[in-house]
Structure 1
């Protein structure tokens, strides 16, 4: 049974400065919710009950967001603003907990995941990056489908999406031996490389911030040396894992928005704003007027 998901939130958010100077990038809003809330809701919808935030100093706003604000709730209740009260009181459903651990230094995604080892223990677990927002409004949730693929095969799953050739150097890239994966399906990975040059990339299938991994990964991360950018890369640990067991690439169906950069955040606000009942008409009218 999968119940634990690691969400690394210790990043500095340099791609969205100056917005993230005093506000954690994960708390920047898409319509009326911070990005991190969408990601946590995605995890909960896929069946995860223990949300492990890997955080650092200056990120208390994230933990506060998932805690109760009794003064605010009492005021909304006094004014009988029921809908607003429910929107802040029930961010986390019953039975779901948020646990925080610290990453003392920014030493890479692999290091951030390793910081959660004491909470994960010997359980298989998921990793979800908090700035990668998936719109599954027209499809079955990709994270839910990836959990089903893991349960059916018993193999770790890594979510991928095809990207333009000029963008492969921004991502971890997987090698699936040239096999074309249909959206919503999985196939075996034979190799992967972190941020390769286009000429060295084995494919254009980019890892897009969703993983379901065996507990063994934590043991491998303890011995993973710094790689690209001088950081401990999760991709390097997964490449080592491939030497002893199989991993699969899951091809996503939804639309992905990288809210860790300015353009992606704006695009997400437009896409989700066109779906929200309170904003869709005004956003559509505004776009037509441009």
Structure 2
């Protein structure tokens, strides 16, 4: 396993939400396809989220309607490929697919693996900040699904949820300013922070613009830029490497204590 951060301590981890903790709700996607006489599996939807290039689901609030449409169509093309269906067959369902991606609530991705990854990240003992493009609802959704919380609650205790749509934020990825806001919540230099996200534009490149190491969440290892930036296929893989880095330091090295994690029942 290639070390993500071989030269120094990792003092904080930032997490994206969409594409890492959540994906478009497969039920909403199936509802969109039903009108075209089609259906898909949960795995089909999951595979369609992850692009082999820049056509990922990393959308921003400042994106034009044409740019959003391009992302939606790219997702639909990947979905068709996963389904073994010609892309033109999905054309009648395109409006519904767009709603599933941009309006419907997203679902927890592979719930057991996601909770295990968050538990492993808590064990690694670094402060965590969530950095996401949303509409102000991210913190509530994470708490309701018992994944993450600010203050007491079930799941992973995080320092902050920096939601582009929340009061006082006012910027969204790919504007690097959102990562400067996230840095204000941790006592770490940018070079001591990892950010995990599924979008090359919004996560890897945007965090790198302020000196943070952007790690590409690539569950199916489809990214073609293998040497351009680090990749992991799971949240647990990232947590293990962070824990390994911290364990390799001397016992009196500065660093935060273990992060709180309160187990939540599977639903």
Give the number of the structure whose residues are more often strand, by fraction.
1
TM-score normalised by the chain length of structure 2: 0.24
* Bigger RCO of structures 1 and 2 (CA < 8 A, at least 6 apart): 2
TM-score normalised by the chain length of structure 1: 0.23
Structure with higher Rg: it is 1
